[in-house]
Amino acid sequence: MSTALVTGATAGIGLAFCRELAERGHDLVLVARDRARLENVSDELSATYKVGAEILAADLSDRAQVQRVADRLADATRPVDLLVNNAGFGMSHSFLGGDLADEERMLDVLCRAVLVLSRAAALPMRARGHGAVVSSVAGFAPMGTYAAAKAWCTAFTEVLAAELVGSGVTATALCPGFTHTELHARADLDMSRLPDFLWLEADRLVRDCLDDVSAGKVVSVPGAQYKLLVAALQVLPRGLVRRASGTVASVRRRHG
């Protein structure tokens, strides 16, 4: 039986990953900040799927706590075969309208933690000749520092995947569109105007993503509507994409 470590394991997409991976027989290491919620998820997974579900409470905006997770990934006596870099959060304010400390915290969780944990996981995976790293990202349109951080994450995953070619280890950037989770409410984002067809369900997108991981895909875009959108964003003139993103962001802030 193999082991998967999932960050942001207590809600939304991360919780859907944990349930799907447990159903497929993987033991789990669950990472998030809220210990009580981690314990509830651990109890649910071990009772429902009869798998091991270890808890590692850590705030990934804190360097020392990221290092504890990295040390767990590097522990040769308890190998981790799949790392899901999923923890994240959104923000409702613009870059210039917000607090710099919040922006730095966002980069620490969405970028620095992904960088440190991916290296800690990929080195022993490469030595063993198998394993996979997945990062949950969204960042094709320039909307806020969130999108900029996520664009870094996609580029980083592509670099990692290229470095791992032939090693038996894969890296996949999961690029979901809007998904029903706690993220938008936590960030105080008003999503009431988003049309229904743009919403994804976490369970389905996780299954699609894991199929893409098995197929060794580097970029996984779940949902036909988003495959089309991403293809369009890549061929449309960048100036047009920037103008459209700016309009959407300002409308969202006015109503948010």
Long-range contacts, stretch 209-215, CB < 8 angstroms, 24+ apart: 209/134, 209/172, 209/174, 209/176, 210/20, 210/21, 210/24, 212/172, 212/174, 213/82, 213/132, 213/134, 213/170, 213/172
Question: Which of 24, 39, 98, 178 is close enough to bind ligand NAP by CB under 6 A?
Answer: 178
- Is 30 a binding residue for ligand NAP by CB under 6 A? The answer is no
Question: Which of 138, 205, 213, 221 is close enough to bind ligand NAP by CB under 6 A?
Answer: 138
Active site residue 227: no
Cβ proximity of 85 and 134 under 8 Å:
yes
Residues 8 and 88: their CA atoms lie apart, in Å, by 7
- Collapsing DSSP states into helix, strand and coil, what is residue 82? strand
Question: Which of 20, 39, 44, 59 is close enough to bind ligand NAP by CB under 6 A?
Answer: 59
Active site residue 135: yes
Q: Are strands 82-85 and 131-136 parallel, antiparallel or unpaired?
A: parallel
Question: Which of 34, 71, 102, 211 is close enough to bind ligand NAP by CB under 6 A?
Answer: 34
Catalytic-role residue among 42, 49, 118, 146? 146
Q: Closer to ligand NAP at the Cβ: 40 or 127? A: 40
Q: At closest approach, how far in Å is the CB of 117 from ligand NAP?
A: 11
Residues 95 and 11: their CA atoms lie apart, in Å, by 26
Q: Burial-class residue 44 by CB neighbours within 10 Å (0-12, 13-18, 19+).
A: middle
Q: Closer to ligand NAP at the Cβ: 62 or 158? A: 62
Residues 201 and 181: their CA atoms lie apart, in Å, by 8
Active site residue 61: no
- Is 134 a binding residue for ligand NAP by CB under 6 A? The answer is no
The encoded tokens of residue 165 equal: 């070619």
Stretch that binds ligand NAP, among 116-124, 180-188, 226-234, 235-243 (CB under 6 A): 180-188
Question: Which of 3, 89, 130, 225 is close enough to bind ligand NAP by CB under 6 A?
Answer: 89
- Catalytic positions, please? 135, 146, 150
- Chain contacts with ligand NAP (rule: CB under 6 A): 7-14, 32-34, 37, 59-61, 86-89, 109, 136, 138, 176, 178-179, 181-183, 186
